[in-house]
Amino acid sequence: MASFTSSDGLRLFYEDEGSGQPLLCLAGLTRCSRDFEFLRPHVTDLRLIRLDYRGRGQSDYDPDYRNYNVLREAHDTIELLDHLALDRVSVLGTSRGGMIAMALAASHPDRLAGVILNDVGPVIEPAGIARIMDYVGKKPVSKTHDQAALALKQAMEPQFPGVPLSVWRKQAEIQYAATDQGLALRYDDGLHKALLDQAATGAIPDLWLFFDALRDIPTAVLRGANSDILGAGTVAEMHRRHPGLISAEVPDRGHVPFLDEPQSLDLIRRILEAA
């Protein structure tokens, strides 16, 4: 794992492996570079770049939690590309990462060769927002990864039917760090304060304006069939606004698909070919 220093002095970590076509992977709100472990074995022919946002994974926590926002994180992403001397990349954005990808389309469209949005669009469904606000910043109750795997399977079974316990065990390791005191979050709990402030002040950008900036960029959207974040109606409107958009729905998946599903892999490859 390597690092660079952001323009405001934070040390941000990233993974950069492989030597093929570059694919920049941007994780979900509380996730880090580990978010793409299920995809990784399927893209060994690519140059896979994965960023730990500020306040996540091994990157520095920001002393000002208000900097945990889409626009600042998009700026950090451009600084990573500059650090790596990459003029253009395809971006795979999961949830928050997709919001950042849309922001980049508005601010730096010339840096984007293609975009894949993983279970996210310009509208976040109210049920999904409520679920996110309920869990962000809460310490895990489970003391071990085995306990967390059982808890994840029980909680997620309605949206992810039939997913074996071994997958949830791997997911538990991705989400939680093991410590002498039990499991710990892999992110700054200041994220919760940031979300509350942004909701209270209305400091949330109009994502339709950002999405419309993707119109001339090869773009795909994945939707988990059981998602509570991305509605089917939103995907339909995305198609109306972006005639070249391609999409796929992943059965037996909620928020978010793991990205190792056949539908996910096919859509990723189609955008990479177009890019």
Average of per-residue pLDDT across 194-200:
84
Q: Which of 14-23, 111-120, 191-200, 206-215 has the lowest mean pLDDT?
A: 191-200
Q: Using one digit for the tens of pLDDT, what is the confidence trace for 122-145? A: 999 989 988 988 888 889 999 999
The Cα–Cα gap between 84 and 73 comes to: 17
pLDDT digits (tens, 9 = 90+) for 225-267: 999 999 999 999 999 999 999 999 999 999 999 999 999 999 9
* Residue-level pLDDT at 134: 86
pLDDT in tens, 62-92: 999 999 999 999 999 999 999 999 999 999 9
| All residues at 6 or more sequence positions from 143 whose CB lies less than 8 Å from its CB, including other chains | 182, 183
- What pLDDT does residue 185 have? 95
Q: What is the pLDDT of residues 164-188, one digit of tens each?
A: 999 999 999 999 999 988 999 999 9
- pLDDT tops 90 at residue 196: no
User: Which pTM value belongs to this model?
Assistant: 0.96
What does the mean pLDDT of the chain come to?
95
pLDDT attached to residue 202: 65
